[in-house]
């Protein structure tokens, strides 16, 4: 009896590991895509076509606030995962709500920045620098948007069906995705924003 229990557990564990590895492979290919966008930005960031450079356009304080929002959101997501492993459904929902709210705050700041830039005539078609900027930061923003959408769906599932082990696996994937976006943002903050002020 104990033996069959053990093999069943390892079966499930093995399936779990396979799924997590598959998701990890997806994350790495996504990272590769961001790497290419970073390369494009690194090559084009001086090509302002006579327009404004990053130093004149970016507000460093805003980028710092965005970074702190995303870092805190990532931390809240981690706390949600601890609660998930302990099977505490209410805490999971609470921490994911915090994660979600912080993510929305980040996204709205980013969209405000984009809106301001475009309003002032600094559109993606103004220069190669701005094209690559909007592509890189926009791609990250799009990932955040999809993550938020995913978060709502997963939270609805948790609310309806509770925390089964497959649900915990889905939550783990979501948290991996969220932490991953945090890491990508750190490089955007450093290479796009901080570098402009050197």
Partner 1 sequence: MSQEHPEDSRPKREPGTLESYIIGFCLSLLLTALPYRLVVTKAVTGNTLLATILGFAALQMLVQIFFFLHLGRGPKPLYNVVFFGSTVGLIAVVVGGSIFIMNHLHYNMTPTEASNQLAQDEGIYQVEGTNTGACQKLNAKHQVTISSGKISPIDTKAQLCDTLTFMNEDSAAHDIAFGTYPNQDTYDGQTKLMLRKGGGMTITLDRSGTYQFYEHDNPKIAGSFTVSP
Chain contacts with partner 1 (rule: CB under 8 A):
2, 6, 9, 13, 17, 20-21, 24-25, 28-29, 31-32, 35-36, 38-40, 42-43, 50, 60, 64, 67-68, 71-72, 74-75, 78-79, 81-82, 85, 176, 179-180, 182-183, 186-187, 189-191, 194-195, 197-198
CB of 124 to partner 1, least distance (A): 20
CB of 9 to partner 1, least distance (A): 6
Residue with Cβ nearer partner 1 (97 or 118): 97
What single DSSP character describes residue 193?
I
Residue with Cβ nearer partner 1 (35 or 162): 35
Contact present, 140 and 184 (Cβ < 8 Å): yes
Q: Which helix (H) or strand (E) holds 146?
A: helix 128-161
Q: What angle do CA 28, 63, 143 make, to 5 degrees?
A: 35
d(CA 27, CA 141): 16
CB of 183 to partner 1, least distance (A): 5
CB of 24 to partner 1, least distance (A): 5
Residue 184, C-beta contacts closer than 8 angstroms, at least 6 positions apart: 31, 34, 140, 143
Residue 159, C-beta contacts closer than 8 angstroms, at least 6 positions apart: 93
Residue 36, C-beta contacts closer than 8 angstroms, at least 6 positions apart: none
> 187 is written with which tokens?
């490089």
Residue with Cβ nearer partner 1 (38 or 157): 38
Residue with Cβ nearer partner 1 (43 or 153): 43
Residue with Cβ nearer partner 1 (160 or 198): 198
Contact present, 81 and 171 (Cβ < 8 Å): yes
CB of 100 to partner 1, least distance (A): 17
């Amino acid at each position: 009896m104990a033996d069959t229990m053990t093999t069943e557990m390892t079966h499930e564990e093995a399936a779990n590991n396979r799924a997590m590895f598959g998701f990890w492979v997806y994350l790495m290919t996504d990272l590769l895509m961001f790497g290419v966008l970073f390369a494009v930005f690194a090559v084009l960031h001086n090509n302002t076509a006579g327009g404004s450079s990053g130093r004149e356009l970016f507000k460093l304080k805003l980028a710092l606030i965005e970074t702190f929002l995303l870092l805190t959101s990532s931390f809240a997501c981690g706390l949600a995962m601890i609660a998930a492993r302990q099977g505490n459904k209410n805490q999971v929902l609470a921490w994911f709500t915090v994660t979600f709210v912080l993510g929305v705050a980040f996204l709205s700041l980013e969209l405000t920045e984009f809106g301001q830039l475009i309003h002032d005539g600094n559109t993606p078609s103004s220069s190669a620098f701005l094209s690559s900027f909007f592509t890189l930061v926009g791609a990250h923003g799009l990932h955040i948007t999809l993550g938020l959408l995913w978060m709502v769906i997963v939270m609805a599932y948790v609310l309806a069906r509770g925390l089964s082990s497959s649900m915990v696996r889905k939550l783990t994937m979501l948290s991996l995705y969220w932490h991953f976006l945090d890491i990508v943002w750190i490089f955007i903050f450093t290479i796009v924003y901080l570098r402009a002020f050197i």
